[in-house]
Structure 1
Amino acid sequence: MDLAGKLSLYGKPGKPSGPAATGHDQDKSGESVRAGLELSQPSVLTFSGLEFSEISPDLYFRREVYEDLQLGDARLSELLVQPMQFLDDLLPVDSQPATPAMIHRNEVLFLDTETTGLGRGPGNFPFLYGLAWISEQGLIFEQYFLNGPGAEESFHQILRDLVSRFSAICSYNGKSFDIPLIRNRFILLGERFRAPPVHLDLFHFWRSVGGGMRKKLRNRSSEVGKKKGFKQKNMEEEVLAFYREDDLPGSEVPQVYFDFRKYGRNDRMHLVMKHNEWDLQGLALLFLKAIGIVNEQRDQVSLYRSGIARMFLRHGRSQESLEILQDITAKPSDEGYLEELLYGDRLLLGLLLKKAKRYEEADLIFEGLFRKYRCMQSCIELSRYKELRCRDLSQALSIAREGLDLLEFRGVEAKDRYYQDLIRRTRRLENRLHGTQSEANAAQRKR
Structure 2
Amino acid sequence: MRSLRDRLQSYKKEMALGGGETTLDELVAEAESLSGELPESAVERALPGMELETPYGRCYCRDVRFDVLSSHGHYPLARTRHLPLAVLYQVCKIKEEPVDWQEVCFFDTETTGLGSGAGNFIFLFGIGFYEDDEFVVRQFFLRNYAEERALLYALSELLGRFRAMVSFNGKGFDWKLLETRFTLARLPLPPMLHLDLLPPARRLWKKVIANCKLITLEQEVLGFARVDDTPGKMAPELYFAYQTDGDARRLTGIFTHNVHDILTLATLSAHIGLLVDEPLHRATHPEELFGLSRWYAEWEQGDSSEACLVKVSQMEEQDYVREALWKLSLIYKRRGLYERAVLLWQELLDGGGMWQTAPRIELAKYYEHKAREHRRALLLTTETIEIVQNRRSALRSLSLEEELRELAHRRERLLRKCGLDRSDGA
Amino acid at match of 2:152: H
TM-score under structure 2 normalisation?
A: 0.78
The reply to whether residue 229 of structure 1 matches residue 211 of structure 2 is yes
Q: Which secondary structure does the structure 1 equivalent of 2:182 belong to? A: helix
Of residues 186, 197, 201, the one that matches 2:196 is: 201
Question: How far off is 1:321 after superposition?
Answer: 5.3
Of residues 322, 333, 336, the one that matches 1:343 is: 322
Q: Return 5+ residue gaps in structure 1 as ranges.
A: 1-38, 215-227, 440-447
Residue of structure 1 in register with 2:245 after alignment: 263
Residue of structure 2 in register with 1:148 after alignment: 144
Bigger mean CA deviation after superposition, 369-378 or 173-182 = 369-378
Residue of structure 1 in register with 2:71 after alignment: 70
Say whether the 8 Å CA contact 2:293–2:304 is kept in structure 1: yes
The reply to whether residue 322 of structure 1 matches residue 320 of structure 2 is no
The reply to whether residue 353 of structure 1 matches residue 332 of structure 2 is yes
**CA displacement 1:33-77 (0-9 Å, x = unmatched):** xxxxxx995557536642132214462111122114333443335
Matches within 5 A, 1:50-61: 50-56=47-53, 57=57, 59-61=59-61
Q: Work out the CA distance in 2 between the residues paired with 1:402 and 1:104.
A: 59
Matches within 5 A, 1:14-93: 42-43=24-25, 46=43, 49-56=46-53, 57=57, 59-67=59-67, 68-77=69-78, 79=79, 85-92=83-90
Say whether the 8 Å CA contact 2:313–2:325 is kept in structure 1: no
Q: Which secondary structure does the structure 2 equivalent of 1:434 belong to? A: helix
Q: Work out the CA distance in 1 between the residues paired with 2:81 and 2:183.
A: 41
Q: 1:166 to 1:393 in 2, by over 3 A?
A: farther
Q: 1:157 to 1:306 in 2, by over 3 A?
A: same
Q: Return 5+ residue gaps in structure 2 as ranges.
A: 1-20, 29-41, 422-426
Say whether the 8 Å CA contact 1:48–1:270 is kept in structure 2: no
Q: 1:306 to 1:243 in 2, by over 3 A?
A: same
Amino acid at match of 1:383: A
Say whether the 8 Å CA contact 1:100–1:167 is kept in structure 2: no
Bigger mean CA deviation after superposition, 410-419 or 249-258 = 410-419
Of residues 93, 104, 112, the one that matches 1:108 is: 104
Q: Which secondary structure does the structure 2 equivalent of 1:243 belong to? A: coil
Q: Work out the CA distance in 1 between the residues paired with 2:225 and 2:264.
A: 11
The reply to whether residue 307 of structure 1 matches residue 304 of structure 2 is no
Q: 1:294 to 1:340 in 2, by over 3 A?
A: same
**CA displacement 1:230-251 (0-9 Å, x = unmatched):** 1111111112221112421111
Q: Work out the CA distance in 2 between the residues paired with 1:40 and 1:319.
A: 68
The reply to whether residue 391 of structure 1 matches residue 372 of structure 2 is yes
Provide the alpha-carbon RMSD of the alignment: 3.0
Say whether the 8 Å CA contact 1:64–1:142 is kept in structure 2: yes
Say whether the 8 Å CA contact 1:414–1:420 is kept in structure 2: no
Amino acid at match of 1:403: T
In percent, how many aligned pairs have the same letter?
Answer: 27
The reply to whether residue 179 of structure 1 matches residue 175 of structure 2 is yes
Say whether the 8 Å CA contact 2:231–2:254 is kept in structure 1: no
Q: Work out the CA distance in 2 between the residues paired with 1:437 and 1:158.
A: 82
Question: How far off is 1:414 after superposition?
Answer: 4.4
TM-score under structure 1 normalisation?
A: 0.75
Bigger mean CA deviation after superposition, 55-64 or 110-119 = 55-64
Say whether the 8 Å CA contact 1:53–1:62 is kept in structure 2: yes
**CA displacement 1:78-134 (0-9 Å, x = unmatched):** x3595xx1132233489355x114x44443210000000011222211111000012
Question: How far off is 1:212 after superposition?
Answer: 5.5
Say whether the 8 Å CA contact 1:400–1:425 is kept in structure 2: yes
Amino acid at match of 1:342: V
Say whether the 8 Å CA contact 1:306–1:324 is kept in structure 2: no
